[in-house]
Structures are given as structure tokens and as C-alpha cells.
Amino acid sequence: MADRPHVLVLGGTAEAVALANAAAPHFDVTYSLAGRTQSPSLPDNVTVRTGGFGGIAALSAWLLKRDIDLVVDATHPFAEKISANATTACDMTGSPRLRLLRPAWTSVLGDDWREVTDIAAAARLLPEIGSCAFLSIGRQELAVFADVPGVSFVARSIDPPDGDNALPGATWLTGRGPFTMEQETTLLRDHGIDVVVSKNAGGDATYAKIAAARDLSIPVVMIARPDPPLGETVATVDAALEWLDATGGNHR
Ligand code: NAP
């Protein structure tokens, strides 16, 4: 291992940016993004790479070619494929890997959650619950809602939709969290929303819509997380830093 261990942070979350920033003074950090967002939040003073690696074998080869010592998978809880790929690729190369995964939300008194296993199940359930749904699940999987009968949609994403992921007839809003409770309450009221569809993303940045729905007695169709990959997992940036220190030889 070199003097400054080389860390790959698989990113796309606020925690990944915070971890890369905190690790940068002590480690050579490469921050990796899929390239889905036009102007992503980025850490400072680290190498940034963008775009898929090309699958498990290509990621393994990339890890070896770039002399990566440590991998932290800090991707979104719903980024199932890259997490699985990273787990297998790190097993193949013998690279220590950590999953940084923020805790899921849990319902509290006053919440009316209808928990479903995936997005298709959310789409099937919707007509029984409401007629004007707020979707803030990103742009990639909206086609599933295209044929839901009797429900109109207000959808929000960081970037506007393109042809491949548009939901015909939906009202589109763009915006990047964190959102306040006041903003979310106004949005739900102004658009006459009677059901919210959300992934159980966890974290603070997008929780206000859940709290606002509770406040307005609006049900939430809550999409459960996919199973996380096996292997060592921590819930906070501080814990991930401790792992880097311990596994990378305490270079701080
Ligand atoms: P995914 O389905 O797990 O991954 C699909 C493919 O995208 C992967 O196989 C990989 O391509 C590439 N990829 C994904 N994340 C990457 C990264 N950080 N660096 C390099 N390549 C990456 O991923 P996703 O759910 O579309 O998420 C894509 C990105 O958006 C992730 O960085 C994630 O943290 C972020 N994000 C996702 C969500 C969500 O709801 N899914 C929400 C907020 C942010 P190859 O196989 O070619 O290597």
C-alpha cells in the first residue's frame, strides 16, 4: 500500500460527497459517478471519474489498473446493481470494501404508510389510494406509472425528464434537496396531492415530504429498499472514516 492509500468512493449521495471531502487530506481519493445528473454535487480536491465501468470484470480490471487499495460503496440505497457489482469485483481482486448505507426511515405516530416491495407494486396499488400522486423517485423508473388508471401525477427530479423517461401527462417539477417542511407542505397543498410515492431513501434531505404528508394526513406508498449486499456495513460518514483509518493503516 502506498504512503497515501488510494480510495475509490462510489458516489451519488450526500454522504459520499461528505466522506470524500473528509478523506481527501489523508487519502488519494477517486470519486465515481454514474453520470446520471447534469450538475452533480461533487467533493473538492479529489479525482472525479464519471460513467459506468462496464460490468464486474471491467470494474475488477479498473481496480487493479488504478492500484485501488480500499473501496467505499456510498451509493444510494436503491443503487442495487453497482453495489452488487462492487461486492463481486472486490471479492475478485481482494480489495477491502465497505458499504456506507444510511438507515432507512421508520414510520412514526400519525404516518399512514402503505409499504410495498418495489415500484411495480406501488403502481398497482395507487388507484386504490388516491387520484393525484406526487412522485419523487428519480427519472429512471417512471415508465412503470404510465398505464396507471385514474391517477394524475406530479413528478419531481433534479434534471428535467428526457424522452426516455418522461411520464406522459405528468406535471414536472425540478429541484434538488434538501427541501423544507414548509416547501413540501406548500407543494402538496398547491397541487392537490392525495397520495405520495416515495422510496425509503432514509436521511434528512428528502424526509420533509414524508413529514408534510403526515401533517396533512396524506398516505404514503413507501417502497422498501432492496436487500443490501453482504459484507461490512456502516451507517455514518464518521464510521466510514474510522474504517478507512483502520483498514488503510491509520494515515491520519
Ligand atoms: P444502478 O442501477 O445500481 O447501476 C446501474 C449501472 O450504472 C451500474 O451497473 C454501473 O454501470 C453504473 N453506476 C451506478 N453507479 C455508479 C457509480 N457511482 N460510479 C460508476 N458507475 C456507476 O445505479 P442507479 O440506481 O441507476 O444509480 C446511479 C447513481 O445515482 C449512483 O451513483 C447512485 O448513488 C445515484 N442515485 C441513485 C438513486 C436511486 O434511487 N437509484 C437515487 C439518488 C442517487 P457499469 O455496470 O457499466 O459499471
pLDDT of residue 138: 86
Instruction: Report the alpha-carbon distance of residue 126 to residue 141 in Å, rounded.
Output: 16
Say yes or no: CB of residue 127 within 6 Å of ligand 1: no
Say yes or no: CB of residue 35 within 6 Å of ligand 1: no
Residue owning the nearest CA to atom 30 of ligand 1 = 12
- What's at 27, amino acid-wise? F
CB 207 within 8 A of CB 105: yes
Say yes or no: CB of residue 248 within 6 Å of ligand 1: no
pLDDT at 252 over 50: no
pLDDT of residue 251: 44
* Pocket test residue of 33, 41, 75, 135 for ligand 1, highest count of atoms within 8 A of CB: 75
- Encode pLDDT of 56-111 as tens digits: 999 999 999 999 999 999 999 999 999 999 999 999 999 999 999 999 999 999 99
Say yes or no: CB of residue 76 within 6 Å of ligand 1: yes
Max avg pLDDT among 83-87, 135-139, 165-169, 244-248: 83-87
- Residue 80 alpha carbon to ligand 1 centre in Å: 8
Instruction: Report the alpha-carbon distance of residue 231 to residue 108 in Å, rounded.
Output: 30
- Which atom of ligand 1 sits closest to the CA of residue 55? 46
Mean pLDDT, rounded, of the chain: 95
- Residue 239 alpha carbon to ligand 1 centre in Å: 23
Burial degree of 128 (CB within 10 A; 0-12, 13-18, 19+): exposed
Give 115-121's long-range contacts (Cβ < 8 A, gap of 24+). Answer: 115/222, 115/224, 116/221, 116/222, 116/223, 116/224, 117/223, 117/224, 118/223, 118/224, 119/144, 119/223, 120/144, 121/223
Say yes or no: CB of residue 179 within 6 Å of ligand 1: no
- Encode pLDDT of 124-148 as tens digits: 999 999 999 999 998 888 989 999 9
pLDDT at 176 over 80: yes
Angle between helices 56-65 and 80-93 (to 10 degrees): 50
